[in-house]
Structure formats: structure tokens, C-alpha cells
Amino acid sequence: MAVDPNAPYDPDNIFARILRGEIPVVKVYEDEYALAFPDIAPQARIHVLIIPRGSYICATDFGERASEAEQAGLSRAIAHVATRLGVTGSGYRVISNTGADAGQEVAHYHLHLLAGEPLGTKLIRPNAK
Ligand code: 5GP
């Protein structure tokens, strides 16, 4: 079921549990602001999720409530992850889904970093005429 960005933050969502160490993940990168780990259902040869440590539901929530340091920290984490993965030269895509139309499934803000092969069409509009 798609995430309702207006619902209260659910502290038992899967990424909150990963942050608390209740569910093990392979840590690609971590610092005081962010954690990065492989997506369980990769959509490219490299598919890593980058999440803030703070409790934010989506891009809107993060943009409105996260501190300047948290926002800068998440942005810098993208660069750290890309460097660690060795894809800064070959390229990569960072996307984020918010709410029903975007198909957001997990109610903790996250960025998808996709890389490792040509990624094809930038935006697929299934209902485009
Ligand atoms: P969304 O659709 O919300 O933008 O993306 C959620 C992503 O989280 C999906 O790509 C999905 O495969 C991934 N995911 C869901 N549950 C887990 C999990 O338990 N572990 C990991 N590593 N990824 C998960």
C-alpha cells in the first residue's frame, strides 16, 4: 500500500527498524546523518538506498523539518556512497518517491541510488498518451 505522506511517522517501519539494528543490512556507508545499504529487490546492477537517521516520512517532510545539517549531511552522503561504489565516473541516478502517485512503499524518507549499467529512459510515464 502506498505511503500517506500526511500520516504520522510510524516508528516501526522497516527502515526505522534497520536504523535501530533490529534487521541486519550490509552497510555500504554510514555517518551521523545517513545510512546506505543495498535494496532488497535491486532494479539495476547497483541499487543502494540512502536514508537519513532522523524520522522523516518523505521528501516533503524532510525538506520542511530536517535541520540544515541533516539536509547537508544527506546530500553529502550521496557523494560518499557514489565514491565508495566507484561510480562517480561511469554515472548514477538518484531518485526518491513521495506518496501514492510516485508509488512510495516505505514510510521513511529514502533515496535510491542506481548505477552499474546504462539506466535507460529517465522517466517512465505509464499513462502517457
Ligand atoms: P519506495 O517504493 O518506497 O520508493 O522504495 C522502497 C524500497 O525499499 C524498494 O525498492 C524495496 O525493494 C526496498 N525494501 C523494502 N523492504 C526492504 C528491506 O527489508 N530491506 C531492504 N534492503 N530494502 C527493502
Is any ligand 1 atom within 6 A of the Cβ of residue 41?
Answer: yes
Q: DSSP alpha helices (H): ranges in the chain?
A: 14-19, 59-65, 68-85, 99-102
**Is the pTM above the cut of 0.75?**
yes
Q: How far apart are CA 36 and CA 98, in angstroms?
A: 19
Q: Which of 106, 108, 112, 113 has the most ligand 1 atoms within 8 A of CB, as the residue to mutate?
A: 106
Cα-to-centroid distance, 48 and ligand 1 (Å):
10
Where does the pLDDT of residue 59 fall: very low under 50, low under 70, confident under 90, or very high at 90 and above? very high
Q: How far apart are CA 107 and CA 91, in angstroms?
A: 28
Q: Which of 4, 10, 12, 14 has the most ligand 1 atoms within 8 A of CB, as the residue to mutate?
A: 14
Question: Is the pLDDT assigned to residue 87 strictly greater than 80?
Answer: yes
Domains of the chain (ranges; CATH) run 14-115 (3.30.428.10)
Mean predicted confidence (pLDDT) in 1-19: 90
Computed over every residue of the chain, the mean pLDDT equals 95
